[in-house]
A = this chain, B = another copy of it.
Amino acid sequence: MYTIGIDLGGTNIVAAVVDSEYNIIAKAKTPTAMPRKPEEIFNDIAKISKQAMMNAGVTINDIQAIGLGTPGTVNKEGIIEYANNLGFDHIPAKDMLIERLGDVPVFIENDANCAALGEAYAGCGHGSKNFIAVTLGTGVGSGIILDGKIVSGVNNAGGECGHMVINVDGVPCTCGRRGCWEAYASATALINQTKAAMEEHPDSIMHELAMEEGKVSGRTAFDAMRRKDAAAIQVVEDYIKYVAAGITNLVNALQPEIVCVGGGICNEGETLLRPLRRYLESERYSVYSEVQTKLMKAELGNDAGVIGAAILNTVQ
């Protein structure tokens, strides 16, 4: 038997047929093409799900369950209560999927939670049941798995660790608070920090690198640091301090087996992870514990979401 995992994103919709050992048998993809009506989006979800089944050489009778990862908040009845970037307001996603694909068990979860589940079970967690995934992207996404289950809280809105304040009265966050972890540790934040340092240091090599790349990116400061640029070294040191602050906070509160870090910035690999581990080792409250949280790099990339969605049925 197989399951279908669907990752509904702001840019693309991906569907995958996944086997019981977390292997992706076949995938299909289509642009989300916003703005569109929810009905049209769900028509496309059904279309690419069928296409993925065809590519895998299976039919709906071979499908044990369908899992959907979506931005926003999903309630236990499978209704997407609210998803800002898709314009969703109380969309009966479960019913809309069953209507279009047949009467198969359907499970729907927040996309960051799906990605965390995917990494925990099929990625760097190798089946870990106490696992936090953090994605340093446009924002700071996160999902918490405890006792093998997604922590979604009393209202299915849990796991928003990017919106934990690490700097009271700090820089404004898109969520309305000031000083959120996301406002310091996302790729967007790093780019802003890089731009601010460039403005302060007109002679920094970062100007040259940004010119070559055509823009300031999450790589600009890291690349300039490797060329010993003093301003860039400071940007990277500060950025890593911010990332570490949030990770250490999560460790002190939850002491998971693994914290997994993903997102584009993670292409820096050990350049990022080594100093993060050093911060964690010196700052965690559990300095005397024999067992400690491991800090790891995400392994599944964009597939984490579809794989996590595909195994939602196993963690209910």
Contact = CB atoms under 8 A, between A and B. Distances in A.
A289 B75 CA distance: 9
A292 B155 contact: yes
A241 B178 CA distance: 12
A208 to B, nearest CB: 30
Given A153-B130, A168-B166, A285-B163, A158 B245 contact: no
Interface string A136-154: 0000001010110101111
Given A286-B155, A290-B155, A253 B144 contact: yes
Interface of A is mostly: loop
A130 B147 CA distance: 14
Interface in A200-216: none
Interface string A262-300: 000000000000000000001101101111110000000
A155 B254 contact: no
A285 B229 CA distance: 38
This chain's copy number in the assembly: 2
Contacts of A32: none
Contact of A81 (B152, B166, B282, B289): B289
Interface in A228-280: 241-242, 245, 248-250, 252-257
A248 B165 contact: yes
B168 A241 contact: yes
A82 interface: yes
A35 interface: no
Contacts of A293: 153-155
A175 interface: yes
Given A81-B290, A283-B177, A290-B81, A245 B168 contact: yes
Nearest to A154: B257
Q: Which 6 A-B pairs have the closest CB atoms?
A: A153-B255, A157-B286, A164-B249, A155-B289, A158-B255, A155-B291
21 contacts: A81-B290, A82-B288, A151-B254, A152-B255, A153-B255, A154-B257, A155-B289, A155-B290, A156-B255, A157-B286, A158-B255, A160-B253, A160-B285, A160-B286, A164-B164, A164-B249, A164-B253, A165-B249, A168-B184, A168-B245, A250-B253
